[in-house]
Amino acid sequence: MFTGIVTDIGEVIEHQTIPAGQRVKIATHFDPKTIEIGASIACSGVCHTVIACGALEGGKNYFVVESAKETLDLTNAGEWQVGRKLNLERSLQMGDELGGHLVLGHVDASAVIVEREDHPDSVFFKLRAPDQLARFIPAKGSVALDGTSLTVNDVDGDDFTIFLIPHTLDNTTWSEKQVGDKINLEVDMMARYVARLNEYTPS
């Protein structure tokens, strides 16, 4: 379980194709002494299991994760090559501040950026969600995009908009995002459960 509050920007420093999918080594500021093998870390919104970790020269550290074929098909993890920056978040612990919203790290699909406008104090993005997921994205609701908990500004069919403040741009990978980029999308699980309950008709 996560909150969508990014706490580090990692960088892919090694990439390997394996029979089950891919294995990547990610540079991070996280202290490897605090990372248990088998722990969960959200990498641009995708919950991954740590299979190795350690220290690098120059003061940075690393951890290693593997992505299965289903993950590569549903997310932008298939685009992770050496040099790729990733939003990172450690899993939520009891007593931690819930600064964003409850995020599972189970990405539903990819949304696509269809418009970007830079303003002096914010950046506007319009994204297009897959048709089957658009109904779970309400105006002023929460959505996780590349692991970042964000508030939806407006909705028009399959399109929805967000505004990002300088702090978010400075502390995530969003400053690099451009039109055409695929973004990992996880809809709010509360919206999903409410929709499912409304579909249920007792016999």
The residue from 7, 15, 39, 40 that is catalytic is 40
The residue to which tokens 């500004």 are assigned: 153
Mark whether 43 is an active-site residue: no
Residue 116 has, within 13 A of its CA and on its CB side, a CA count of 13
Question: Do 146 and 109 contact (CB within 8 A), yes or no?
Answer: no
Q: How many CB atoms lie within 10 A of CB 151?
A: 13
**Active-site entry in 20, 55, 68, 195:** 68
Catalytic residue among 47, 53, 77, 111: 47
User: Does the annotation count 68 as an active-site position?
Assistant: yes
- Residue 52, pLDDT score: 97
Domain locations in the chain?
8-90, 109-198
Taking the chain (203 residues) in runs of 10, the rounded mean pLDDT of each run is: 93 96 97 95 97 89 96 95 97 72 90 96 96 92 96 96 96 97 92 72 59
Instruction: Clarify whether 2 is annotated catalytic.
Output: yes
Buried b (16+ CB within 10 A) or exposed e, 30-68: beeeebeeeebbbbbbbbbebeebeeeeeeebbbbbbbe
Annotated catalytic, 30? no
Catalytic, out of 2, 30, 63, 136: 2
Write the CATH number of the domain with boundaries 8-90. 2.40.30.20
Indicate which residue of 20, 29, 34, 49 is catalytic.
Answer: 49
**Structural fold of domain 109-198:** Elongation Factor Tu (Ef-tu); domain 3 (2.40.30)
**Residue 42: closest CA among 186, 182, 174:** 186
Question: Which of 55, 106, 139, 195 does the annotation list as catalytic?
Answer: 106
Torsion of CA 192, 197, 199, 203, to 10 degrees: 150
Residue with tokens 């919104």: 45
pLDDT at 203: 56
Catalytic residue among 29, 55, 151, 195: 151
Query: What pLDDT does 131 receive?
Result: 93
Q: Is 40 a catalytic residue?
A: yes
**Whole-number Å distance between alpha carbons of 24 and 42:** 14
Active site residue 49: yes
In terms of Cα–Cα distance, which of 93, 88, 12 is closest to 45? 88
- Are 8-90 and 109-198 equal in CATH topology? yes
106 belongs to the catalytic site:
yes
pLDDT at res. 201: 59
Residues comprising the chain, all counted: 203
Which one, of 108, 143, 128, 120, lies nearest residue 179 by Cα? 128
